Amino acid sequence: MIKALMDGEHLAFAQPWFFLLLILLPLLIWWDVRKSASRPAFRMTTLSGLKQLKPSWKVRMRPVLIVLRSLAFTGLVIALARPQSSNTTESIESDGIDIVLSLDVSGSMLAEDLKPNRIDAAKAVAARFIDKRPGDRIGLVIFSGESFTQCPITIDHSVVKSQLDGVESGMLADGTAIGMGLATAVDRLRNSKAKSKVVILLTDGVNNTGLIDPNTALEIAKALKVRVYCIGVGTRGEAPYPVPLPGGGVQKQMVPVEIDEALLRTIATQTGGKYFRATNNASLTGIYDEIDQMEKSKAQVNSFKHFTDLFFPFAVLALVCLALELILRYTVFRSIT
């Protein structure tokens, strides 16, 4: 309960107008002081004989009565205002789009025509895309000379982003198996009950290996009604690529950029998707934004707010202070008037 009272963000008062009663607090203090000052007195011709006398502890401590009464009054006002802690829960009802990101991690993805390189740029943009899809299940497949499911489709996006962050070039045998990358991603959606199933396949090369031909993977995608968006990553012409030197260090070498755009365009078109070419970071970001707009899911957010009354401690405080004030007033600080 103390934690709830300290949490100002979720603390509210059901009847805040009762705080207007606090205006009477100065009047209450004034009345007590005035009453104390008007006690019976008697005249003396001189005070010289009393100068050495010090007030007793009862006299010095008597203002405690005013403090206790003030605390009692304040606690009662706060209790009447009914402090409450609120707790909001949300449930998301979504049509649901299941999305699998299929990411090329071959050695050529280390080329630096995108900054800092293709694979890191692709990871950063994909992470932002995941953040924009709170109601969708998302999975991650990586491929180069072979393919691997890095993360099955899940609504827990923190897991997906964690797995995405750990992706590096060289995790799998080198090569570019586009057919394997597509087939593995489609297989992740085989048992999906979502109304829309999507694969976003990103690569920077030409299919040159793999146990499954890209056209076979395409037919599987069509049979399972999976829509595929293909992204070819790489500038046009040549791109700088870091080449390790025998004695240590790295040398930048310009290498030709070869992307099988005809194949990627065919895959996208025949599955109802679209092919994109990303030649820099800005265009890659724009591509994911466009896909995000084309694949909008309908989501309904239901919000439930629960309130817990917290007036009881203040009511107890008021009663304790009032009882203590009365007891002290008619025992320890009792006076004859």
pLDDT digit string (tens) for 175-196?
Answer: 999 999 999 999 999 999 888 9
**Residue 76 shares a structural domain with residue 105:** no
pLDDT over 70 percentage in the chain: 81
**Distance between CA 28 and CA 319 in Å, rounded?**
17
Q: What is the pLDDT of residue 48?
A: 58
**Residue 134 shares a structural domain with residue 201:** yes
Q: What is the pLDDT of residue 128?
A: 97
**Cβ proximity of 58 and 332 under 8 Å:** yes
**Residue 289 shares a structural domain with residue 308:** no
pLDDT digit string (tens) for 35-90?
Answer: 665 555 556 555 555 555 555 666 666 667 778 888 888 888 888 888 887 766 65
**Residue 142 shares a structural domain with residue 285:** yes
- Whether 93 shows a pLDDT value over 60: the answer reads no
- Whether 281 shows a pLDDT value over 80: the answer reads yes
Q: What is the pLDDT of residue 88?
A: 60
Number of domains in the chain: 2
Q: Is 235 helix (H, G, I), strand (E, B) or coil?
A: coil
**Residue 8 shares a structural domain with residue 114:** no
Q: What is the pLDDT of residue 305?
A: 67
Separation in Å, CA 173 to CA 24, 107, 115, 148: 80, 9, 24, 11
**Cβ proximity of 99 and 154 under 8 Å:** no
- Whether 5 shows a pLDDT value over 80: the answer reads no
Range 302-317 burial, b when 16+ CB lie within 10 A, else e: eeeeeeeebbeebeeb
Report residue 6's pLDDT band, with 50, 70 and 90 as the boundaries.
low
289 belongs to a structural domain = yes
What CATH number should be reported for the domain holding residue 258? Answer: 3.40.50.410
**Residue 315 shares a structural domain with residue 195:** no
Q: What is the pLDDT of residue 185?
A: 97
29 belongs to a structural domain = no
**Residue 11, token pair as written in the block:** 């603390």
- Whether 102 shows a pLDDT value over 90: the answer reads yes
**Residue 134 shares a structural domain with residue 85:** no
Domain range for residue 191?
Answer: 96-297
**Distance between CA 258 and CA 275 in Å, rounded?**
16
Question: Beta-carbon neighbour count of residue 329 at 10 Å?
Answer: 15
> Is 11 or 321 the better-scoring residue by pLDDT?
321
pTM, 2 dp: 0.63
- Whether 308 shows a pLDDT value over 80: the answer reads no
**Residue 69 shares a structural domain with residue 105:** no
pLDDT digit string (tens) for 223-260?
Answer: 999 999 999 999 999 999 999 888 778 899 999 999 99
**Residue 78 shares a structural domain with residue 128:** no
